[in-house]
Amino acid sequence: MSEILEMLIRRGFLWQSFEIYGGMAGFIDYGPLGNGLRRRLENLWREFFVVNERAVEIDTPTVGIEEVYIASGHATSFTDVAIECKKCGKVYRADHYIKEVLGLEVDESVEAIRDILSEFDLKCDCGGEFGEPAQFNLMFETRIGPGKGKRGYLRPETAQGIFIAFKRLADYFRDKLPFGVAQIGRSYRNEISPRQGVIRLREFNQAELEYFINPRNKRHPEFDRYRNVKVKLVDKSDAEYEIALGDAVEKGIILHEVIAYFIAKTREFLLKAGIDENRLRFRQHKDDERAHYASDCWDAEVYTAYGWIEVVGIADRGCYDLSRHAKFSGEDMSIFVPFKEPVKVKKKVIIPNMSKLGPIFRHKAKKVAEALKSMEAEESIVVEVDGEKIEVPPECYTIEEVEEIQHGEKIVPHVIEPSFGLDRITYAILEHSFDTDIVDGEERKVLRLKRWIAPVQVAVLPLLSRDPFTEKAKEITELLKKRGIFTEYDDSGSIGRRYRRYDEIGTPFCITVDHQTFDDNSVTIRDRDTTSQVRIGLGELVDVLLELLNSEKDIREFGEVFRD
């Protein structure tokens, strides 16, 4: 890991934020290459989860008003247990510290942590005793406006911006389920003691899709595409399977098709982005591990130098979020779903008796009658009028059974949410792509990034750093950039050193302008992975490169190899 991190920092992928002031755990800067890679990853995600789904992308504020997070449950439930050393004042996330020191998995409750502290007489690194464990809310609190202002929070997930705009979004989709709404952006969590470098951040990038479905239909129209795809699963009882997704649904290992569909799609995306299939698995959350909003959750986990890390969470959030926002805001978050055929239903309705209601409720009688008419018949009838709950005596109404034709029903959609951590995926891609081999008798460091994700896709190198080589190479650089290829020009150092530099940052192809360029208008293309080179006429260069960059074709298909 240290070799990779050293390279990532030295080559400008990423580094610690606020470095000149000593840095701060949980924050990283993306340098030019890391930023390029993450942006490319974002675009690939968009292609998979927006363009090729019935989905749209929106962009909502990263600061949220307090009401949102009271309704969502984050204000009360988005907590971890912290323990503070009485001697040195260091604060730890309790479950992580216990896992690290004792190797034990522990329930994330204050009581469970307290028991472990006393049972094992657990001490701080400095030997000091810990104080009482306490719940710590992970949201960053802020004030909106001057003075006392209004309490707000930095969003801990992008999802809430989507839920609270649900009515507008349903309108956009003309109330037709299923539909997806995506958001890519920053999220913030005031992690207690983020000691895992680039993995646990306090400000990070998420790409989330909220996929709204009819709860009566948890099938996915496209699932057949993936029915036979085999995946590695670990279920909540730690049983491991290598199983086709269709079978996993049939056997009840995965609850329904929509979750299975997104497991398949997530796998496809991660492999396309450059995650190694042998270091990828999907693990179901245990009952005591799930977030407060989830009824089921599968994590995509990848193996890295940090061990297995969660990079994506695929959760069934049910109608939790929409129902909570409906309750707290007073807005109706349901949508009307028409039946295929109208159906006749028998219904008990309440018929108010005004001659009885009038003397009892006087000026409120009309409102009570209206409230009665809008209710379903129940044992005891309590109506709400002007905020007051009123029990209506049975002599004030009669209950009649009527037959009604219904054309549809109002439902609160359920949400299936694939939620991606782009920073962790970026890091895992870098780690899985990192390789060393021997070239010309020397060890070479090479990042075998997928061609479509590489931050620099092509480097144009004049063989000699003087005209006319440099002039021609700059001309080619401009040409490639204009065609949308991420291209760099480089004339510093020997050609061999330059090849090594671009191998190390994962550039798939180097173009070299050499003596022959001026004889027959051709250049060489060098392939990073094989180091093979072929000659290509300048007239066809752009087309060849575009084809190569969008496929895994071998450069040998495009010309005769003159150097292996």
The smaller minimum CB distance to ligand GAP, of residues 352 and 421, is found at: 421
252 Cβ contact partners less than 8 Å away, ≥ 6 residues apart? none
Number of residues engaging ligand GAP in binding (CB under 6 A)? 18
| Shortest Å distance, C-beta 422 to ligand GAP | 8
Contacting ligand GAP (CB under 6 A), which of 313, 413, 462, 506? 313
- Residue 288: CA count within 13 A, CB half-sphere: 7
Q: Is 159 in the site for ligand GAP (CB under 6 A)?
A: yes
Among residue numbers 345 through 404, which ones bind ligand GAP (CB under 6 A)? none
- Residue 508: CA count within 13 A, CB half-sphere: 21
Contacting ligand GAP (CB under 6 A), which of 80, 84, 95, 157? 157
The smaller minimum CB distance to ligand GAP, of residues 190 and 531, is found at: 190
The smaller minimum CB distance to ligand GAP, of residues 93 and 218, is found at: 93
The smaller minimum CB distance to ligand GAP, of residues 295 and 530, is found at: 295
How far apart CA 414 and CA 211 sit, in angstroms, is 8
Q: Segment near ligand GAP (CB under 6 A), from 211-219, 247-255, 305-313, 493-501?
A: 305-313
How far apart CA 225 and CA 55 sit, in angstroms, is 19
| Shortest Å distance, C-beta 156 to ligand GAP | 7
How far apart CA 3 and CA 35 sit, in angstroms, is 20
The smaller minimum CB distance to ligand GAP, of residues 157 and 257, is found at: 157
| Shortest Å distance, C-beta 320 to ligand GAP | 12
Q: Is 235 in the site for ligand GAP (CB under 6 A)?
A: no
101 Cβ contact partners less than 8 Å away, ≥ 6 residues apart? 122
Residue with tokens 């398949």, as numbered in its chain: 264
Among residue numbers 545 through 564, which ones bind ligand GAP (CB under 6 A)? none
Q: Give the residue nearest to ligand GAP (CB).
A: 421
User: Which of 152, 177, 181, 150 lies closest to 164 in space, CA to CA?
Assistant: 181
Residue with tokens 């071998």, as numbered in its chain: 554
Task: Estimate the crossing angle of helix 422-433 against helix 2-10, to 10 degrees.
Answer: 110
Q: Is 312 in the site for ligand GAP (CB under 6 A)?
A: yes
The smaller minimum CB distance to ligand GAP, of residues 315 and 369, is found at: 315
For 478, 521, 559, the CA distances from 540, given in Å and listed in that order, are 16, 11, 11
Q: Segment near ligand GAP (CB under 6 A), from 82-90, 168-176, 258-266, 307-315?
A: 307-315
| Shortest Å distance, C-beta 297 to ligand GAP | 8
The smaller minimum CB distance to ligand GAP, of residues 206 and 457, is found at: 206
Q: Is 524 in the site for ligand GAP (CB under 6 A)?
A: no
How far apart CA 169 and CA 260 sit, in angstroms, is 25
| Shortest Å distance, C-beta 545 to ligand GAP | 33
Site track for ligand GAP across 83-112, x = CB under 6 A: ------------------------------
CB 453 within 8 A of CB 39: no
* Burial zone of 392 (CB within 10 Å; 0-12 exposed, 13-18 middle, 19+ buried): buried
CB 432 within 8 A of CB 448: no
How far apart CA 32 and CA 43 sit, in angstroms, is 17
Using DSSP's 3-state secondary structure scheme, residue 53 falls into coil
CB 348 within 8 A of CB 400: yes
How far apart CA 397 and CA 355 sit, in angstroms, is 10
CB 181 within 8 A of CB 162: yes
Which pairing describes strands 458-462 and 509-513: parallel, antiparallel, or unpaired? parallel
The smaller minimum CB distance to ligand GAP, of residues 248 and 312, is found at: 312
Site track for ligand GAP across 175-214, x = CB under 6 A: --------------x-x--------xx--x-x-x------
How far apart CA 154 and CA 140 sit, in angstroms, is 6
The smaller minimum CB distance to ligand GAP, of residues 160 and 334, is found at: 160
How far apart CA 68 and CA 530 sit, in angstroms, is 53
| Shortest Å distance, C-beta 206 to ligand GAP | 5
| Shortest Å distance, C-beta 163 to ligand GAP | 10
| Shortest Å distance, C-beta 139 to ligand GAP | 12
| Shortest Å distance, C-beta 202 to ligand GAP | 7
Q: Is 257 in the site for ligand GAP (CB under 6 A)?
A: no
Positive or negative, the CA dihedral 384, 386, 387, 389 is negative
The smaller minimum CB distance to ligand GAP, of residues 188 and 469, is found at: 188
The smaller minimum CB distance to ligand GAP, of residues 204 and 469, is found at: 204
Q: What is the DSSP string of 175-238?
A: T-SSEEEEEEEEEE---SS--STTSS-SEEEEEEEEEEE-TT----TTGGGGTT-EEEEE-TT-
Q: Segment near ligand GAP (CB under 6 A), from 39-47, 169-177, 250-258, 304-312?
A: 304-312
Among residue numbers 396 through 455, which ones bind ligand GAP (CB under 6 A)? 417, 419, 421, 423-424
| Shortest Å distance, C-beta 236 to ligand GAP | 16
Site track for ligand GAP across 276-295, x = CB under 6 A: --------------------
111 Cβ contact partners less than 8 Å away, ≥ 6 residues apart? none
- The footprint of ligand GAP (CB under 6 A) covers 157, 159, 189, 191, 200-201, 204, 206, 208, 310-313, 417, 419, 421, 423-424
